[in-house]
Every structure is written in structure tokens, then in C-alpha cells.
Homo-oligomer: A and B are copies of this chain.
Amino acid sequence: MAGFELDPKLAADTAEIDRWALSRVLLMEDANYPWLILVPARAGLRDFHDLASEDLPAMMAEIVRASRTLEALFDPVKLNVAALGNQVPQLHIHVIARRTDDPAWPKPVWGAAPARAYDDAARSQRIAGLHEAFTRF
């Protein structure tokens, strides 16, 4: 991961939960949704197809792991998985647990409702819960 640095806007909008074989695992600072962001720790990636072919299996496995963890913890009706990056070009993959009572449903989350910051206790509790659950998937 020579030369990899997390984009400053991603860093500002998230809290780091874990580091996996390929990706930094971040919690989006928006308590409206259980929302993870995976950032492959490789320099210079913009789009999904920029991933080296040898990194694709780990990328897949990590998306699946993040999805299964959110599914187990939050009983979502759908998982949304997306690499958009129109605002922050560094490749990052959103993995979001959606519920029919969340403030954006059934629309995509981006731009649908103002982000709602976690309070410190809730953030710590969520990170701890995710960190523990990752060990099971």
C-alpha cells in the first residue's frame, strides 16, 4: 500500500473501524443509516475497474463480509452497495443497510436527508458492535 493516503474528505466524514487485507473499513458519520465505507488501500484508484485483478477477490470478499455483518446486526430489507465517487474521486465502496423506516427509503441515501451525527456514546457503541461482529463473518 505504498503511497496510499485516505482522502481528507472521506477521513473527515467517517470514523475508522478496522483495517482488512485490502480495505480500510470506515463508519459513515450519519446515524440515519448503518453505513460502512470500504476504501481499498491502494494508491491512485478512482474507479472500480482500476483495481488490480489480483485485488478483485479480496474486494469481493470484503464487500460480502461488510454486507453480512450489517445484515446480521440491523435486519435490513436491502443492502445498497455502490462505488460512485462523483464528489470524492478516490475509490470507495458504500455498503448501506436500508430499512423501510429510514429517512430516504426507497430512494438512494445520497442527498435525501441531512446527515445526522452520532453522539459520542452512540458512535463508540456502534463501532464496538461492528468490530465485534466482524469477527463472526
Give A91 to B16 CA distance when docked, in angstroms: 29
Given the contacts A63-B48, A64-B49, A80 and B83 also touching, CB distance less than 8 Å = yes
What's the nearest-Cβ distance from chain B to residue A39, in Å? Answer: 15
What's the nearest-Cβ distance from chain B to residue A32, in Å? Answer: 15
What's the nearest-Cβ distance from chain B to residue A126, in Å? Answer: 20
Flag if A86 contacts B108 (CB, 8 Å): yes
From 57 to 99 in chain A, residues with beta carbon under 8 angstroms from any chain B beta carbon are: 57, 59-60, 63-64, 67-68, 71, 78-87, 89, 98
Flag if B60 contacts A56 (CB, 8 Å): yes
- Chain B residues with Cβ below 8 Å from A42 are none
Give A111 to B104 CA distance when docked, in angstroms: 12
Per-residue CB contact flags for chain A residues 5-17 toward chain B (1 = under 8 Å, else 0) read 0000000000000
- Chain B residues with Cβ below 8 Å from A86 are 78, 80, 98, 105-108
Flag if B67 contacts A49 (CB, 8 Å): yes
Flag if A46 contacts B82 (CB, 8 Å): no
- CB-defined A-B contacts under 8 Å, sample of 11: A47-B67, A47-B71, A47-B79, A48-B63, A49-B79, A59-B60, A79-B83, A80-B85, A86-B98, A86-B105, A86-B107
